[in-house]
Structure 1
Amino acid sequence: MSLSNRKIGFIGAGNMAFALMKGLVNSGLVPPENIMASDPEPSRFEGLSKSLNITITTDNIAVAKKSDIIMICVKPQVAKYVMDEISQFLKDKLLISIAAGVKTDFFEHYLSGLRVIRVMSNTPALVGEGSSAICAGKYAGKPELEIADKLFCSVGKVAVIEEKYMDAVTGLSGSGPAYVFKFIEALSDAGVKLGLSRETSRMLAAQTVYGSAKLVLETGEHPMALKDMVTSPGGTTIVGVHMLEKGGFSAAIIDAVEEATKRSEELGKK
């Protein structure tokens, strides 16, 4: 399914929108002249407009009118304001929302038959390594999911899920980069404590996490099996793993994901 002749409009031009626009242009999936974005302060995105050769405006309605696919890339508390403004211009269009916690039926309420795809992505999309989960609303189906899949594959990997699991995705991969950054920070601090320079320690920590993640994805092996490959009997690694478990490492991660999921559910209800 070609997207080269589709007009794509972004309402909201923050980090995630920028990552997706950059991915679409750099991959050649959508020509820059077919991309338009609106934001209350377009002056902040002059560099974006020039580097990608796309159009930035303050006019949400203009974006809605001129686009075949409309990306809602705003904070959840702004979603109602945006929909009140553009809903009358959405007939026969595909709406894709990355507004955290906002369910597909919220958007469908504004226009019967509106095709809606909900997406939860994450910040590694900024470097083309995002994790995105997508789900379809009541009136969207396989063709719409295929479009969303193509769009978000331009900035990483995509999973198709049922909407009831979207809050869990928010707690896992949506918030997950923060957990990983904390882990990298802790590894780096440990290296500094033991005498390594900050620069060397940070590089070793970050590359260790990056390489380990790549190993999981490319081998398809269970993380436990890969952990056992490193953990020699009576060696250094098993001592370190023991200390992590003694400190409640696994339980803390699971608790963090569960609590973030609960918070996502609360935000969705609001």
Structure 2
Amino acid sequence: MTKYGFIGTGNMAKAMIQGLLKSGVQATDILVSSPRSASKLADTWGVLALSPQALIDESNVVVLAFLPNQLTRITNELHFDQQLIISVLAGISLSELQEATHSTEIVRTLPNVNVAINQGLIAFASGQLMAPNAQLFGQFTEKLGESTDLSEDQFTIFSAIAGSGPAFVFKYIKALSQAGINNGLSEEVATNIATKTVLGSAMMLASSDATAQELEDKVASPGGSTRAGLDDLDAENFDDAVKHAIKATMQHKHL
């Protein structure tokens, strides 16, 4: 039975743990180590709280999920064998991770928050893993969503779209909901309509061979009310606003 260990229990680690639990992994097969919150997670979710080295010794997969500036201090006290090491530390390159852990069985990843519901996107970069660890990594990411192999210099744009993107989508849903409220709907009804509309539209695009532009054109008849709304979005530079938001995100992040 595969044991998954998390050194650090911040928001991303918790999202990944939730995803593993939802995928059917037993709580007792998930090990956590954190000086402040491991015992609380053990009480809440039934996972096992251990010291960092004990966690490593017991785990097949070790996820590094603490603050990036703690890498050297934490790994200096630890010994890794041939376990698969998965890092979610922003801004820490694969070579830096290998140097700090003295291991080549390591994958640098960048997951988004949707791993919590098994719909995550995970960018990864790795060296040549041993076959069993490569298989373990594939199984791990399949439990959480979908993974894509990227060069490390592409992590910044991935983060802007996939990592920050959910916040932008939530903002869009909030704007749609507020428009409904402003025109007489209750907050509950407006939020449900906006949420289900975005969800269904995303699912339609994901299951279709058509492009987003082609589906947009199918919904918007020439001269119709939808086209009037799209024309107004164009007049308000909607596409440019999104591009500017992505650019601002990329300029701020150091990945």
Residue of structure 1 equivalent to 2:7:
11
Structure 2: which 5+ residue stretches go unaligned?
none
In the alignment, structure 1 residue 247 sits paired with structure 2 residue 243: no
CA distance in 2, matches of 1:76, 1:246: 42
Tell me, in whole angstroms, the C-alpha distance in 2 between the residues paired with 1:141 and 1:261: 33
Match of 1:222 in 2: 211
What does residue 30 of structure 2 align with?
35
Alpha-carbon distance between aligned partners in 1 of 2:32 and 2:228, rounded to the nearest angstrom: 52
| Equivalent residue for 2:105, pick from 115, 126, 137 | 115
The within-5 A match list for 1:224-239 is: 224-239=213-228
1:91: Cα distance to partner? 2.8
> Aligned equivalents of 2:142 and 2:250: distance in 1?
24
Relative to 1, partners in 2 of residues 1:176 and 1:80: Cα closer, same or farther, differing over 3 Å?
Answer: farther
Separation in structure 2 between the aligned mates of residue 227 and residue 204 of structure 1, nearest angstrom: 19
1:77 is aligned to 2:60? no
Q: Distance between the aligned counterparts of 1:197 and 1:79, measured in 2?
A: 48
Query: What is the rounded CA distance, in whole Å, between the counterparts of 1:250 and 1:12 in structure 2?
Result: 38
For structure 1, which segment, 236-245 or 122-131, has the greater mean C-alpha deviation from structure 2 after superposition?
A: 122-131
**Match for 1:124 among 114, 129, 132?**
114
**Coordinate RMSD, CA, aligned:** 2.2
* Equivalent position of 1:92 in the other structure: 82
Residue 165 (structure 1) shift: 1.1
Q: Tell me the CA shift for residue 145 of structure 1.
A: 4.3
In 1: Cα distance, 2:135 partner to 2:156 partner:
22
Query: How do 1:55-74 residues align onto structure 2 when only pairs under 5 Å count?
Result: 55-57=48-50, 59-74=51-66
Judge which range, 234-243 or 107-116, deviates more: 107-116
Structure 1 residues 185 and 17: alpha-carbon distance in aligned structure 2, compared to 1, 3 A threshold: same
Structure 1 gap ranges (5+): none
TM-score by length of 1: 0.85
1:37-60 CA-partner distances (Å, limit 9, x unpaired): 1112236x63x4356432024x22
Q: What are the Cα deviations for residues 181-227 of structure 1, in whole angstroms up to 9, with x where unaligned?
A: 11111111111111211111111111111111111111132111111
Cα 1:197–1:147 change in 2 (3 A) is same
Among all aligned residue pairs of Structure 1 and Structure 2, give the percentage whose two residues are the same amino acid: 28
Q: Is the 8 A contact 1:11 1:39 kept in 2?
A: yes
Q: 1:227 to 1:146 in 2, by over 3 A?
A: farther
- Deviations 1:144-180 (CA, angstroms, capped at 9, x unpaired): 4442232122122222222221111111101111111
Aligned residues between the structures: 255
Q: TM-score, normalised by structure 2?
A: 0.90
Distance across 1 between alignment mates of 2:130 and 2:227 = 48
CA distance in 1, matches of 2:197, 2:55: 43
